[in-house]
């Protein structure tokens, strides 16, 4: 597993971006749950944010692509408006434990 940040560093209704080698990802907390997605719009493959850690629309209820204005549901990553409607952001496996948010990696084994 790879530690992204302390649990306290991602408050309710907030989003943050992370870069790990060649992987850029988004973490969002909504209704107490953390969602992780690859930071890549399915329409053109561009990052979503228009400035650091700014991934949400004005209402704070949807992820928004700064390039095309596409809107994505936080809970599923589904695009509900814009040029990639019906497509999805790529979800990434993550957990919250030991007061941290973690990205689960393929190298982890459950022995």
Structure tokens given for 92? 């990434």
Examine residue 111 and state whether it is found in any structural domain, yes or no: no
Examine residue 110 and state whether it is found in any structural domain, yes or no: no
Query: pLDDT at position 91, please?
Result: 97
The rounded distance, in Å, linking the Cα atoms of 36 and 90 is 9
Note down the domain range covering 34: 2-103
Counted domains in the chain: 1
Examine residue 58 and state whether it is found in any structural domain, yes or no: yes
Examine residue 87 and state whether it is found in any structural domain, yes or no: yes
Examine residue 109 and state whether it is found in any structural domain, yes or no: no
Query: pLDDT at position 107, please?
Result: 55
Examine residue 108 and state whether it is found in any structural domain, yes or no: no
| Per-residue confidence in pLDDT tens, the chain, 111 aa | 999 999 999 999 999 999 998 899 999 999 999 999 999 999 888 889 988 889 999 999 999 999 889 999 999 999 999 999 999 999 999 999 999 999 998 754 443
CATH number reported for the structural domain that contains residue 7 in this entry: 2.102.10.10
Query: pLDDT at position 101, please?
Result: 97
Query: pLDDT at position 51, please?
Result: 84
- Interacting residues of 95 by C-beta distance below 8 A, sequence separation 6+: 1, 101, 102, 104
């Amino acid at each position: 597993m790879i530690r992204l940040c302390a649990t306290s560093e991602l408050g309710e209704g907030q989003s943050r971006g992370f870069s790990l080698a060649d992987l850029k990802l988004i973490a969002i907390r909504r209704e107490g749950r953390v969602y992780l997605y690859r930071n890549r719009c399915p329409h053109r493959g561009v990052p979503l944010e228009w400035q650091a850690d700014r991934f949400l629309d004005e209402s704070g209820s949807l992820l928004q692509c700064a390039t095309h204005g596409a809107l994505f549901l936080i809970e599923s990553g589904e695009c509900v408006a814009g040029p990639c409607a019906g497509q999805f952001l790529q979800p990434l496996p993550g957990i919250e434990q030991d007061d941290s948010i973690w990205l689960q990696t393929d190298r982890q084994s459950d022995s």
